[in-house]
Amino acid sequence: MTLNLKKNISLRDKHTFRLNARAAYFISFSSTQEIFMYLEDKALYSHPFFILGSGSNCVFTKDFEGVILQPAIRGIQKIQENDAYVWLRVGAGENWDSFVAYAVEHNYGGIENLSYIPGNVGAAPIQNIGAYGIEVKDSIEKVEGIHINKKESITYNKNDCHFAYRTSIFKEALSNKIIITNVTFRLAKQHRLITDYTGVKEELKKYNEITLQTLRKAIINIRQRKLPDPAVIPNAGSFFKNPIVSKEKVRALKNSYPLLPIFVHSEREEKVSAAWLIEQCGFKGQRIGNIGVSENHALVLVNYGNGHAQDLRELIIAIQKSVEKTFGLHLEPEVNII
Ligand code: EPU
């Protein structure tokens, strides 16, 4: 077995925002044994490292003088089944949407609303991907990984993962410490479809019946219509998180801005639409150099080609300052800026 190691490699094709940056070393792992080989390689292990999924939620703004580690472990294994559920253990390097397609084809419910989200299976728990009323945490049973400093395999049960809105322990306390190798999902054989998110019900009217399959199609249609395709216009999906705001503050904002879209979050807080805030500040379709705010969706920043990191930094700051000044709310990036 040899390590799949590349040196002085361009990162442009390794992240969907496609800025120009290079990495001194890049290793793609197709097995856990290869990860242990890397951990035992004193020369490679002495460099700083960064763990990369498929690059759909991170932006490289400068060269990386270390090792980029990319788990590419494949496979979907049925490990358990009863009348109600099936347990699937999936390699971190499987494409997320191909896995959703597999689940929907087999009539396993729970992740259909997460159709067409870019990225790999291993990245899904890190930021607890969510869309159209569902978060992936509700279908995750456990996450397996390798702790880089401890050089050992560790399994995290759902409760150890500290899942919350667009975050988990893997993005906080364990950030850049664990190479996720496999994720086990528990999917339902009988399943209540969640169709009440704005836009989903209307889209479903095009179909004669509401099934896992038509719901997946409807979600794909909505996403294709609203979100720019990274294969056509480089982007990293939602660039900022929707700010979580106390109900008190939301009430005050609603007095001044009755149209402000809000979503249920918890007993004391609500989620405010960052896209709406950005659009109200006049940024939709605006650009600095070749970096811009998508014309279709104000939460998505795009690279029109050969965009510069400096322009991206300026645009982020301009958006944050403007939203802060107008609404008194801070927008926190949702993407990982390196
Ligand atoms: N809106 C605007 N202007 C726009 C776009 C949207 O004002 O240009 C307003 C609309 O009023 C709309 C509201 O914003 O009702 C919410 O828009 P949308 O339904 O598109 O959802 P979002 O809150 O902007 C979140 C996720 C998306 C996910 C969608 C659908 C975050 C940070 N983003 O976006 O996830 O697909 O909901 O559930 O939570 C991603 O994480 O990369 C991502 C795309």
pLDDT in tens, 181-199: 999 999 999 989 999 988 8
| 297 within ligand 1 shell (Cβ under 6 A) | yes
The C-alpha torsion from 306 through 221 and 335 to 332, rounded to 10°, is 120
The backbone torsions φ and ψ at residue 223, rounded to the nearest 5 degrees and listed phi first, read -65, -40
**Burial annotation 244-281 (CB, 10 A radius, 16+ → b, else e):** bbeeebbeebeeeeeebebeebeeebbbbbbbbbbbbb
Q: What average pLDDT does the chain have?
A: 95
Instruction: Return the bridge partners of 153, or none.
Output: 146
Tell me which residue has tokens 């970096």. Answer: 291
Residue 211 reports pLDDT greater than 90: yes
Strand bridging mode 49-51 / 64-71:
parallel
219-223's contacts with Cβ under 8 Å and 24+ in sequence apart are: 219/112, 219/113, 219/115, 219/116, 219/131, 219/132, 220/115, 220/116, 222/132, 223/115, 223/116, 223/117, 223/131
Sheet holding 85-91, edge to edge: 76-81, 85-91, 178-188, 140-147, 152-157
DSSP at 31: S
Has this prediction a pTM greater than 0.75? yes
H or E element that contains 272? strand 269-272
Higher-pLDDT residue of 265, 126? 126
- The atom number, within ligand 1, closest to the CA of 276 reads 7
What the chain holds in terms of domains, given with CATH numbers, is 5-71 (3.30.43.10), 76-202 (3.30.465.10), 235-337 (3.90.78.10)
Distance in Å from the first CA to the final CA of the chain: 31
Q: For the segment 73-90, what is each residue's pLDDT rounded down to a tens digit?
A: 999 999 999 999 999 999
Q: Is the pLDDT of residue 247 over 90?
A: yes
Q: CA distances (Å), 323 to each of 52, 290, 315, 316, 332, in order?
A: 30, 22, 12, 11, 11
Rg of the chain, C-alpha, whole Å: 20
Is 242 near ligand 1, meaning CB less than 6 Å away?
yes
pLDDT band at 2 (very low <50, low <70, confident <90, very high): confident
For the question of residue 334 being annotated catalytic, the response is yes
- Ligand 1 centre to CA of 270 (Å) is 15
Length of the chain: 338
Ligand 1: distance of its center to the CA of 242 in Å?
8
Sign of CA dihedral 20, 21, 26, 29: negative
Whether the per-residue pLDDT at 18 is higher than 90: the answer is yes
Is residue 31 part of the annotated active site? The answer reads no
User: Is residue 275 within 6 Å of ligand 1 at its C-beta?
Assistant: yes
